[in-house]
Amino acid sequence: MKIGYIFPGQGTQVIGMGKDIYDKYEEARNAYKIIDNELNESIEKLTYEASQDELNKTENTQIAIYAMSMAILEILKSRGINPCVAAGLSLGEYSALTCAGVIDLKEGAKIVRQRGRLMQNLAPEGNWAMAAIIGLEDEKVEEACSKVTNGFVKAVNYNCPGQVVVSGEKDAVLQVMDIAKELGAKRAIELKTSGPFHTEKLKKASEELRKELEKINFKNFDIPVIKNFNGEEYGKEDNMIEILSNHVINPVKFGKSIQTMINMGVDTFVEIGPGKTLSGFVKKVCKADGIDLNVINIENLEGLENALEILK
């Protein structure tokens, strides 16, 4: 079995996520404790007791999802279950880098907390939105964006065959949703996000994030990590600060990331964190390629214990 870990990004968060895992496993509680002590706040309280609106704020969403993913990761590590490669969607790339030993849990928590705050607080004023366009080719989604004459919108997340996320001003995003349906899209769904992510509108946040990244002690890779930027493996010569600071203003090539992992021999994908979004992407890539791989999702106690049984 050749295991690849995949970590989710924003949009999958729900109040109480991972609480059943936290209650049962000491490794999960210890991970939260390390993060809480580093940030001097309770991420459990934010995740389990806040309102959904509060959790949906970018500055809170990112650290809450990161903490949950890391808690599950610690349980898997304690059982001797380790991947041969990791990847993550947007925010999830930081989880993948932590998994690979490139940044430790404490530094990961600090930079994710800062990244969320910068992306929320330094986004330009405006009414922003993101939407998933389903059942339409990449080029058709780009065409839909080009047909919007009043307002800013771009295709930003190329998730899998037949799913692209657009980001921009809300009115423009709504227009793209309508145009995409006219072009043959099966569905268009507005996402639970609050900024023009992965567009040049976050240039200021990118610049400030660069300053925070310069404080991190990046270590060697224990396992390969696949970049969102181009869907390829990080190389020894890659400038981590450059890549991660530009991460927030460039599109995400997650569909290509999955394909790269398959080409590396991964036959078992394990999604670690809230939701089943990435598992769905993997299945669509597999369907398009005519292959059948194992896809395991860990977002609750049942999923974790199922995974522990399969992966042991």
* Catalytically annotated residues: 90, 198
In this structure, which amino acid lies at residue 250? N
- Write the DSSP string, 107-151: HHHHHHHHHHHHHHHTSPSS-EEEEEEESS-HHHHHHHHHT--SS
The DSSP letter of residue 252 is: B
CA distances in angstroms from 211 to 1, 70, 91, 245, 285, listed in the order given: 40, 24, 18, 9, 36
Bridge partners, residue 169, by sequence: 128
Hey, which residues does 3 pair with through a beta bridge?
268
- Compute the distance between CA of residue 159 and CA of residue 145 in angstroms, rounded to an integer: 17
Q: Which residue has the tokens 């990118």?
A: 206
Q: How far apart are the first and last CA of the chain?
A: 11
Rounded to a whole number of angstroms, the CA Rg of the chain reads: 18
Reading the block at residue 133, the tokens are 């366009």
According to DSSP, residue 68 is labeled H
User: How many C-alpha atoms does 251 have within 13 Å on its Cβ side?
Assistant: 19
**Residue 164 identity (one-letter amino acid):** V
**1 CB burial (10 A radius; 0-12, 13-18, 19+):** exposed
* Strand residues in the chain grouped as ranges (E): 3-7, 85-88, 128-134, 153-160, 163-169, 187-190, 225-226, 268-272, 294-298
> Sheet containing 225-226: which strands, arranged edge to edge?
225-226, 85-88, 3-7, 268-272, 294-298
